[in-house]
Every structure is written in C-alpha cells, then in structure tokens.
Amino acid sequence: MSSLPDLICPAGSLPALKAAVDNGADAVYLGFKNDTNARNFAGLNFDQKTMADGIRYAHAKGREILLAINTFPQAGRVGDWHKAVDAAVDQGVDAIILADVGLLDYARNRHPQQRLHLSVQGSATSYEAINFCQREFGIRRAVLPRVLTLAQVEHVIKNTTVEIEVFGFGSLCVMNEGRCWLSSYACGESPNTVGACSPAKYVKWDKKPGAMETRLNGILIDRFGDNEPAGYPTLCKGRFEVEGETYYALEEPTSLNVISILPEILKIGVRAIKVEGRQRSPAYVTQVTRTLRAALDSLANGSEGFHVKPAWQAELSKVSEGSQATLGAYSRPWR
C-alpha cells in the first residue's frame, strides 16, 4: 500500500471535531478560545474541557489533534502566548502549529519533546527558511503558503527533510499569508493582530431592493444582485472601481480545490493535505472530509485510472465560497 498523505481537517467546535474524525480525517486542527489563533470568532473554538473531550475522542480512534497558535504575540502580552503553548502541552496535543519565531524558540526550549509544525502564517516559502526552522527549532512539518506552483512545492520537498503540508481545499486569502494588513486599513484590526480578518462587529449586510450591500466599518465593499453568489466580507474580496471599471480587483470570492491534481500532489511527496475552515459548521466539515477521504482512498493503489467523480466536485462546489473553485497558485503559469 502506498503511503497516502494525511488528511488534516478543521474544527471550531466539538461536533465539528467528531464529524472530522468520523468521516476520515487523519488529524484535526483546532484553536483555543482566544486571540492566540487566527480564527478568533465569538462562540468558536475550544476551552480546556471541550479540548480534553476532543483529544480523547480522536485518540480513541487513532487520530491526531494539532493545535494552532498561529497569531503573533502582541506587545506587552507575550505571556498570553507562552501560556497558550504551555496549556497545549499540558492538554497533550500531538503537535502545536506555530508562526512566530519567538514562540517557536520558547516552545523548543521549554518543551523540547513537543512536536512543532511551522504554520502557514509563518510564511516560509523556501527550503532555506524551512531548514532554518528545523535547525533552530526542530520543526517536524511546515505548512506551505498558498503562493507556490506545484513545481516550486516539489523543489522545496526535494531540498528538505521537514514534512511538507499543503492546502487542498477552502476559502482563499489573497495569497499573502501572514503578511496581510488589508483588514486593518478598514477596521484597524487584522488576523495577525486580533486573530480575525474583517471582524464581524465591523460587518454590515444591508438588504436593498434587488441587492444586498456589504459594508466593512461603513465602507461599501460589495453589492450582490439577488441571484449572485456571495462571499466572505473581507476587503480582498470586495469589488472596487479601478480606472473606471468596477470588479474584483484583488481576489474573486472562490475556493481552492485540488482534487483534480491529487495524483501530482502525491507524486511529489506531499506529507499532508489541509482543509481550511475552522469557522465553518459540522455540516461543512462532514461534507469536505468525506469527499477528500474518498478521493484520497481511491489513490491508495496508485494513480492509474484515477478520475474525479462528478459527485465529489458537486459536493465541494456547493460548499465553496462564491460557489467557484480554482487551483490557485498550483497551476499558475507565471512565477
């Protein structure tokens, strides 16, 4: 049996975690209920008790729990992030996903036995950066930003012994992982500062006759006709007037979907495939996990005869933002 990459699925709640495990995730990634993770939304994420329940549930079925502490410590509050790292170790998570080098250093020195992964927010796109983190902090895996072509991912894998994880499905950030401050332009808050892009308290959906308007802190960022699909209210996915034309000037509301290039992803030696969406409901986690599980399992005996089932694509496109899918940077002809 060839070794398939791990399927890493998101959970923002205990029911979502169970849905991921029950539908075939090899590992589930989570965050604490605070701004130490990049999906810091009201009512979402795990406290000590739900996390303990979740870890027990996953371990009983032989699956792993990864904990994301993927924001950057804010001035004067570094202790909160250290506490989060300590708490993750106490809880017994299988790995901690970190972005900040200071935190990586802390975790490495304080908890030398703990498995560490480099977060996508760490923005390491070259094998030099990844090997540096391996040498200095002993990282075992790195999650690549969604900016590399498949050939570039392969080049990284050939030049490192660190396991490589890539994104396989989910909403897209504008491909500037860990460095985007667009949200701060409108709201004064960004994923890297408060753990949320375009926080809900700044978002307003206004129903107008024949259209719905999206405002971010009062700034009109999009207007949808009644039958037009909608997207998340982030600045990068707004429509703006540029030189007399109004269009998605930065990014279209689409989802990444790599199902059609799974054989290539396996061939180049990717160790894990990640699904975006800790902010989504258990229904989404169920649908996406079981679909990718089915697709991966169909590759267990080699990629000959691999074909993308229409049912998979239908299931995935239904849950997609803007109901569109893209191969993102993996297939960009330019670099």
Based on the shown chain and the rule CB under 6 A, indicate whether residue 147 belongs to the binding site for ligand SF4: no
Q: Which is nearest to 71 in space by CA: 41, 35, 102, 125?
A: 35
Identity of the residue, 146 or 290, whose beta carbon is nearer to other proteins in the bound complex = 290
Q: Cα(283)–Cα(285) distance, rounded to whole angstroms?
A: 6
Rounded Cα–Cα distance for residues 239 and 247 (Å): 5
Min CB(26)–ligand SF4 separation in Å: 26
**Buried (b) or exposed (e) across 183-203, using 16+ Cβ within 10 A?**
bbebbebbbbebbbbbbeebb
Residue 54, interface with other proteins (CB under 8 A)?
Answer: no
Determine which residue in the list 61, 77, 201, 267 makes contact with other proteins, applying CB under 8 A.
Answer: 201
Asked if residue 120 binds ligand SF4 (CB under 6 A), the reply is: no
- Each residue 190-229 as x (binds ligand SF4 by CB under 6 A) or -, in order, gives -x-----x--------------------------------
Rounded-to-integer distance, Cα 37 and Cα 16, Å: 17
Name the pairing type of β-strands 211-216 and 203-208: antiparallel
Cα(25)–Cα(42) distance, integer angstroms: 25
Q: Applying CB under 8 A, which of residues 320, 325, 328, 329 lies at the interface with other proteins? A: 320
For position 101 contacting other proteins by CB under 8 A, the verdict is: no
* Binders in 249-288 for other proteins, by CB under 8 A: 253, 279-284, 286-287
Helix (H, G, I), strand (E, B) or coil at 97: strand
E strand segments, the chain: 6-10, 27-30, 64-69, 95-98, 116-118, 141-143, 163-171, 203-208, 211-216, 219-225, 240-242, 245-247, 255-257, 272-275, 325-326
Q: Which does 191 bind (CB under 5 to 8 A by kind): ligand SF4, other proteins, none?
A: ligand SF4
- The bridge status of strand 6-10 relative to strand 27-30 is parallel
Task: Give the count of alpha carbons within 13 A of 200, CB side only.
Answer: 7
Q: Of 7-15, 180-188, 205-213, 322-330, which segment contacts ligand SF4 by CB under 6 A? A: 180-188
Does 275 help bind ligand SF4 (rule: CB under 6 A)?
Answer: no
Which of 52, 89, 175, 212 binds other proteins (CB under 8 A)? It is 212
Question: How near is the Cβ of 143 to other proteins at its closest, in Å?
Answer: 23
Considering only residues 35-94, where is the footprint of ligand SF4 by CB under 6 A?
none
DSSP characters over 186-203: HHS--HHHHS-SS-GGGE
Q: Return residues touching other proteins (CB under 8 A).
A: 12-16, 41-44, 50, 199-201, 203-207, 212, 224, 226-231, 233, 253, 279-284, 286-287, 290-291, 294, 297-298, 311-312, 315, 318-323
Q: Return residues touching ligand SF4 (CB under 6 A).
A: 173-174, 176, 180, 182-183, 191, 197, 234-236
